[in-house]
Structure 1
Amino acid sequence: MKTQLLASVTLLAVTAATPAMARPMTPEDVLKVKDVTDVSVSPLGSGIAIGVSQLPDISGGAKNGTSERQLRVVTAAGNVQDFLPADMHVSAIQYSPDGRMISFLWKPDGDDAKRGLYAIPVNGGGHRKLAALSDGNITGYVWGPDSRTVYLMAAPAADKARKKESKAGFNAKIYEEEQKFKRLFATDISAGPDAEPREIPFEGQISALEVSADGRWLAAAAAPTTQVDDSLMKTRVQILDAASGNRRALVETPGKIGDFEISPDGKTLSLIAGVDKHDPAATTLYLVDPANGSFRPVTEGQANAATDTEWMANGELAVLMHVGAQSELRFYDASGALLRSVNPGGLILRDIDTSGNRLAAIADAPEHPRELFVLDGDRFTRWSDHNSWLKDIDMGTQRTIRYTARDGQEVEGIVIEPVGGAPRGGAPTIFRVHGGPEAHDSNGWLTNYSGPGQVGAGAGYTVFYPNYRGSTAYGTAFSKQHQNDYAGKEFNDLVDAIGALESAGLTDRKKVGITGGSYGGYASAWGATALSEHFAASVMFVGISNQISKFGTTDIPNEMFLVHSRKWPWEDWQGMLDVSPIAHVDKAKTPILILHGENDTRVAPSQSYELYRNIKVRTDTPVRLVLYPGEGHGNRKAAARYDYNVRMMRWMDTYLKGDGREMPPPRFDLPEGFSGASEAKAEE
């Protein structure tokens, strides 16, 4: 096979400066990472509100839980101020239109407490409640232009009768029939926090909301049912009268939708959507006439992916665009004409917000997680640094590579070299395959609980993140290439990458491991069975093992059909079985660690049970199944994330660096200071 290795056109390589006392990154370090996850620019130009998220510090004895978010205000580069007590964890951070308050959602402690809307004055004073519901949690909100009216999205009303029955033992669940829609309200905050908001009649499952600059109409995204499948494939934007909720227009785009924003003059709606019902992802920019719902594409057919839009005060539309493994910021006029582009260099822009003509962004890079940046002319200036301790970490060189697959298709991915470089003959290598596959990995911060990244590089591995066929950011035509071809060209791209990395001196092809979650878990299962000769170790997470039974147990069967399989299982039973890892267990020589959340509704845990049982009964190949109680399609809590990261690296170490004669022990000792370790010692 002929391969070629080409450098990316932007940010060819980033190597962090190595202090004298640098050390490799560890799974414990992954728990410490902080990310900027919210950004809101003050209308007064006085600051930028951000949300900073971090897992609870279980290494210091904190109670296990999900990410906690704190409100901070940044007034200049490096000038970051906490705005709430450290134990207040909030979400949905926004400035009021007059810039006098920063609002957020918060649920106080207490069994009967509901998530309400709160705010804190910018110029001093404590936080106070603005609005709440007596019978449910507020899930989202948007300010009216007068800074008094707030539109609220809320959970369904609590059913007190059903709660009483459930306590008595009558807790049967009726699958998919007892749908309860989220609700829409308007409230005047001047009436006080105890005033009951006014409900606006609305039919459907509302998921996003915007209000026009004159306050007369709303743009709402909603699906016809509460089912996940419909939220993906049938969500549409509706134009509503703000007072009555009556629908004025419907934007009948044919496929998935993403971000949408209303222009300052109210004449145009920007919308990111799919080009048709078979488009795997919403990546094309459209402009919509809200008067009648008509729409026209702006970027259809381009080899990129629009991910976020914001209108500037001067009427220009800022669009965050991912182009392959990099990103850029584009500005369009109201007619859709491209005005200019800003190259952020090595930054991967993730989210943008504007007020007036100031634009702020959340961005990461190979050497740091997500931080706050502000656009200054044609460059971005960094305003926050929440992970200064990373200067003490010895990082591997990271860059984008391209190679030619066996059929001539050029494929891109990101490689992180081992710290100090690969030895002669190549290093043991871990392929981390993204899910979807309608997603992509960017050349930014790639280290997390399920991504080896710099932890792998510090342990002597080459780590590779392939943007195989089906990935986004390379155009709709590329993302559709995997359709009606389960485990075909898409996974051949992974095998072809091994030769490219070997030719570059980065990989020892006899020591290649594969890991990933969801569709990446499918790839990992396929790599351990049908492609076992190419992979020496596999870690499968919430992955697919049987395409026939997966259809009957998933919450997205229609999405699977429309944007992946393009045929139903009963149209080709044998074909669906042939592309299922369980049908290739006779080839399975690759030791495989299988991990799954017990509460996963996207890919049922039975998929992991099936593969485990088949390998266990039919082969003598090392296999282990680990289940995470309370977790779903991905681990959310700190302990489960840490456990995953440690198990993944131990499995790879055993079969890529060790002799592989015995599986790692099923349990491992927690480091000193972890809550679990402290509790265990206390019990002794």
Structure 2
Amino acid sequence: MNRKLVFASLFASASLIAGAANARPMTPEDVAKLESVGTIAVSPDGRRIAYTTASLPDVTSGEANGTTQQQLKLATGPDMARTFLPDDVSVGGVEFSPDGRMISFLWTKDGEKRAVWGIPVDGGAQRKLAEVDGVGVSSYAWSPDGSMIHMLTAAAEDTERTSQNEAGFNAIVYEEEARLNRLFSARVGEEIDENPRAVTIPGYVSAFHVAPDGRMAVVESAPTPQIDDAYTSKRAHIIDLATGEITRVVETPGKLGDIEISPDGRQLSMIAGVDVNDPADTTLHLVDVSTGQYRALNAGMPEAAVDAEWLADGRLAAVIHKGAQSALRLYNNDGSLAGEYPGGELILTAVEANGGTIAVEANAPRHPTELFTWNDGGFTRWTTHNPWLSEIDFGNQRTVTYTARDGQAVEGVLIEPVGGAPRGGAPLILNVHGGPEAHESNGWQTAYSKPGQVAAGEGYAVFLPNYRGSTGYGTAFSKQHQGRYTDPEFTDLVDAKRALVVEGIADPDRVGVTGGSYGGYATGWSATALSDEFVAGVMFVGISNQISKFGTTDIPYEMYNAHSLAWPWDDWQKMLEVSPIYHVDKANTPLLIMHGAEDPRVAPSQSYELYRSIKVRKPDVPVRLVLYPGEGHGNSRAAARYDYNLRMMDWFDTYLKTGDRDAEMPGPRPALAEGTVGTGSGED
């Protein structure tokens, strides 16, 4: 039957129409070549927006393996953009100079350290603007008059340590050799400032912001570079740039997120936690710079603040997530509400503003992140990446709210199989997010570790639950799991399954689960303690033993403050009983375990423990452990991501689609697309 699939955003300029004759399911090879908007910057006059297009090398067509590359582009209106640099110039930190005549960016030129570069808006070659000898620049900011660039860099080279390393004395003293970042100010001119001035900064600085008058900066600093300190002890320091003196410390009690300085320099907007036990920085505050006092604008509301930006008129624009949806909210200078504008089908994720133009990054159920502008209460799409998505036959996507066994309403995002669920229900994959201080939005939900529309095209339903502990529903909801590992957070998964069975979406005998980090913990728990409920699992960088996890992670205090509210030695048995390894005797769920070999957050030993326990105690249960060399807490390289997606879908096709727990395991090597380097059949 001839028909047309029409994807219409809320705005006619964003409409995409595809003929049914061209419709096809999404594949892992499609996922490997997705592009999206990376970072954005608005020119001072508001007439131009610089942005990056972020993508990985397409290893499925033979491109060399690598990590995400960002190409600089300049847009002047909807579908009016041009590429500004050669394809092989991957940039970061995109900004406009204060006079708007130049786009600045961070770039690592061959054989050199990362430095600040610039390229004229009206044409011309890029040139180096500022650098620090011997070290790379991690971030930078212009002075308001354009005469200076302030740069955050790594510590100076330890020449003694370098010579020892070269001689073979390369022992690592764990957590005792912290090297702190440094701040420099360099003059901007025709010649490079070869002697930038060092500015004294406190502790380990991760970010800084220069006030509009150029006299003051806000520095985000923690005592050490350890990630646990970043979670539990990072504070905002107000510094006099002329003297380097710390004039004020904003003593926030919890996690610290986005900070912005108001146009008059008198206030900060600050997204932070409300107390030391708040799992996430989701509450928007205003801070008085002169006193350091702060007050919350949306405390207790069932939502999460995601990003904020001051406007030239003194108002504050904020991206707010309300459950699985989003909105742009405007506050007056005094913190009173000026207006709120729902994103509709769009999931807003970031906001930037200048010269009267408000730009946002947003995704939707049928496209990854794109660039939009907001005006007169509406959003206009400026970019269209991945035009081939018009060929894809998408499964219907919607939010679903169900009632958990204790009466709590729980929301999630459902992707139905292409064409809908058959009579008796479809095989269902529960895709469980990590954290658990995170949430799923009703936007783009397909990635290398997220089955999404690839699974929908193969006849699966996919449900992404915002279980207890998730953000987006207020701090009280995100705290419901604390001190109660696995219950109610993982009973919410079983209740989601049962609700979708009743609705006719899911086949009760063909439900699987996948997730990474805390979602990997959920998968390990589902494949052991809850094995009767789930027929297949794909576990990624997950927790299997809460006792040994404490001794091997780099976030012990964050675990205590935001999750357990207890130490393992407070009750060894209790901590053991909320570990998947304790319940391996119940395991009857085929489990694929994957892990980055250099993961500092959840040590690979967590995966070794569960794999070995199942292999020895339940030798008839299919289990496989896959390690990714060079990868950490999530895969960053193109080949590792593509490999992961193939393995995940192979595992579900073998066990979940068939409902056969006893099926023979797929080959140890997945079948790569023709044209991929090292193509094999997937068999020995």
Give the TM-score taking structure 1 as reference length. Answer: 0.96
1:306 maps onto 2:308 in alignment? no
- The answer to whether the Cα contact below 8 Å between 1:16 and 1:367 also exists between their aligned partners in 2 is no
| 1:205-264 Cα distance to aligned partner (Å, 9 max, x none) | 111111111111001111011111001111000100011211000000100011011110
Report the AA paired with residue 73 of structure 2.
R
Task: Please list the CA deviations of residues 183-222 of structure 1 after superposition, one character each: whole Å capped at 9, or x if unmatched.
Answer: 1111111262252211101121111111111111001111
**Preserved CA contact (<8 Å) 2:60 2:672:** no
Is residue 101 from structure 1 mapped to residue 94 from structure 2 by the alignment? no
How far apart in 1 are the matches of 2:336 and 2:19?
A: 45
Query: What secondary structure sits across from 2:463 in the alignment?
Result: strand
Q: Quote the residue 2:366 is aligned against.
A: 367
1:665 equivalenced with 2:677 (yes/no): no
Q: How does 1:200-215 map to 2 (within 5 A)?
A: 200-215=199-214
**Amino acid paired to 1:37:** G
1:168-187 aligned within 5 A:
168-187=167-186
State the distance in 1 between where 2:352 and 2:459 align. Answer: 39
Q: Report if the CA contact (8 A) 1:313-1:356 is conserved.
A: yes
Q: Structure 1: how far apart are the matches of 2:460 and 2:657?
A: 9
Deviation at 1:456, TM superposition (A): 0.4
Q: Which residue of 2 aligns with 1:3?
A: none
Following superposition, the deviation at residue 44 of structure 1 comes to 2.1
Residue in 1 that maps onto 2:630? 630
- The DSSP-based 3-state class of the residue aligned with 1:386 is coil
The reply on whether 1:677 has 2:676 as its aligned counterpart is no
Q: Could you say what the CA RMSD is over the residues aligned between the two structures, in angstroms?
A: 1.6
What residue identity is the alignment partner of 1:108?
K
What amino acid is aligned across from residue 27 of structure 2 in structure 1? T
Name the SS for the 2:189 alignment partner.
helix
In structure 1, how many angstroms separate the alpha carbons of the residues matched to 2:243 and 2:383?
Answer: 43
Is 196-205 or 413-422 further displaced after alignment? Answer: 196-205
**Residue aligning to 2:262:** 263
Q: Does 1:415 align with 2:414?
A: yes
| 2:648 aligned counterpart, secondary structure | helix
- Residue type of the partner of 1:462? A
CA-CA distance at 1:379 after TM superposition: 0.5
Aligned partners of 2:648, 2:532: CA distance in 1, in Å? Answer: 20
Match of 2:75 in 1: 74
Matches for 1:280-295 after TM superposition, within 5 Å: 280-295=279-294
> Which amino acid in structure 2 is aligned with residue 358 of structure 1?
T
Q: Distance in 2 between matches of 1:336 and 1:95?
A: 28
Q: Which amino acid aligns with 2:597?
A: E
For 1:594-648, what per-residue CA distance to the aligned partner results, in whole angstroms no more than 9, with x for missing partners? Answer: 0000000000000000000000000021100000000000000000000100000
Structure 2 counterparts to residues 484-495 of structure 1, below 5 A: 484-495=483-494
Residue correspondence of structure 1 range 274-285 to structure 2 within 5 A: 274-285=273-284
8 Å CA contact retained: 1:250, 1:292:
no
Higher mean displacement: 585-594 or 651-660: 651-660
Does the C-alpha gap of structure 1 residues 100 and 15 become closer, same or farther in structure 2, counting only changes over 3 Å?
Answer: closer
After TM superposition, list the pairs within 5 Å mapping 1:76-225 onto structure 2: 76-110=77-111, 113-190=112-189, 192-225=191-224
| Inter-partner Cα distance in structure 2 for 1:189 and 1:195 | 11
Shift of 1:174: 0.5
In the TM superposition, what whole-angstrom CA distance separates every residue of 1:464-523 from its partner, at most 9, and x where no partner exists?
100000000100000000100001100000000011111111100110010000000000
Contact 1:210 1:262 in 2 (8 A): yes
1:653 aligns with 2:627: no
Residues 135-168 of structure 1: CA deviation (Å, up to 9, x unaligned):
2110001111011211111111122221221121
Number of positions where the alignment pairs a residue of Structure 1 with one of Structure 2: 667
2:235 matched residue in structure 1? 236
Whether contact under 8 Å (1:19, 1:391) holds in the other structure is: no
Structure 2 unmatched ranges of 5 or more? 1-9
1:19 is matched with 20
Partner of 2:524: 525
SS in 2 for 1:496: helix
Q: Which amino acid aligns with 1:512?
A: V
SS class of match (2:560):
helix
**Deviation at 1:401?**
0.5
User: Counterparts of 1:432-447 in structure 2 under 5 Å?
Assistant: 432-447=431-446
Partner Cα distance (1:668, 1:228) in 2: 35
Which residue of 1 is the match for residue 38 of structure 2? 37
Distance 1:385 1:244 in 2: 47
Q: What is the SS of the residue equivalent to 1:604?
A: coil
User: Sequence identity, in percent?
Assistant: 57
CA distance in 2, matches of 1:511, 1:222: 49
Q: Which amino acid aligns with 2:110?
A: D
SS at match of 1:652: helix
Contact 2:590–2:622 (Cα < 8 Å) also in 1: yes
Q: Distance in 1 between matches of 2:420 and 2:573?
A: 46
Does the 8 Å contact 1:343/1:379 carry over to 2?
A: no
Name the SS of the counterpart of 1:502 in structure 2.
helix
Provide the C-alpha distance between the structure 1 equivalents of 2:527 and 2:164, rounded to a whole number of angstroms: 47
SS in structure 2 at match of 1:490: coil
Q: Is the CA contact (8 Å cut-off) linking 2:400 and 2:413 kept in structure 1? A: yes
* Residues 604 and 154 (structure 1), Cα distance of their counterparts in 2 relative to 1, 3 Å cut: same
Report 1:3-14 matches (<5 A). none
After superposition, the C-alpha distances for 1:35-69 in whole angstroms (9 at most, x for unaligned) are 10101011123310001100012122211010100
Deviation at 1:356, TM superposition (A): 2.4
Tell me the amino acid that sits aligned with residue 256 of structure 1: K
Deviation for aligned residue 1:343: 1.2
Offset of residue 132 of structure 1? 1.1
Q: In the alignment, which residue of structure 1 is the partner of 2:56? A: 55
Kindly indicate whether the alpha-carbon contact (under 8 Å) linking 2:35 and 2:53 is maintained by their aligned counterparts in 1: yes
Alignment partner, residue 378 of structure 1: 377
User: How far did residue 292 of structure 1 move?
Assistant: 1.9
Match of 1:553 in 2: 552
Deviation at 1:671, TM superposition (A): 1.8
The equivalent of 1:461 in structure 2 is: 460
- Per the alignment, residue 564 of structure 2 pairs with 565
The alignment status of 1:588 with 2:590, answered yes or no, reads no
- Deviation per CA, 1:69-123, whole angstroms, max 9, x where unpaired? 000011110011000111100001111111111110000112xx10000010101
- Partner residue of 2:505? 506
Contact kept in structure 2, 1:537 and 1:655, CA below 8 Å: yes
Q: Cα–Cα, structure 1 residues 532 and 18, in superposed 2: closer, same or farther, change >3 Å? A: farther
User: What secondary structure does 1:150 align onto?
Assistant: strand
Counterpart-to-counterpart distance in 2, 1:287 and 1:613: 51
* Contiguous gaps of at least 5 residues in structure 1: 1-9
Aligned to 2:3: none
Q: Is the 8 A contact 2:46 2:356 kept in 1?
A: no
Q: CA–CA distance in 2 between the matches of 1:17 and 1:404?
A: 37
**Aligned residue in 1 for 2:5:** none
Amino acid at match of 2:75: V
Moved more, 161-170 or 260-269: 161-170
Please tell me whether residue 335 in structure 1 is matched to residue 337 in structure 2. Answer: no
One-letter amino acid of the structure 1 residue matched with residue 638 of structure 2: A
Alpha-carbon separation, structure 2, partners of 1:209 and 1:169: 37
Normalised TM-score (structure 2): 0.96
Structure 1 residue 677: deviation in Å? 2.9
Deviating more after overlay: 348-357 vs 554-563: 348-357
Query: What secondary structure does 1:489 align onto?
Result: coil
Contact kept, 8 Å, 1:38 with 1:51, in 2: the verdict is yes
Secondary structure at the counterpart of residue 20 of structure 2 = coil
CA shift, 1:357, in A, is 2.0
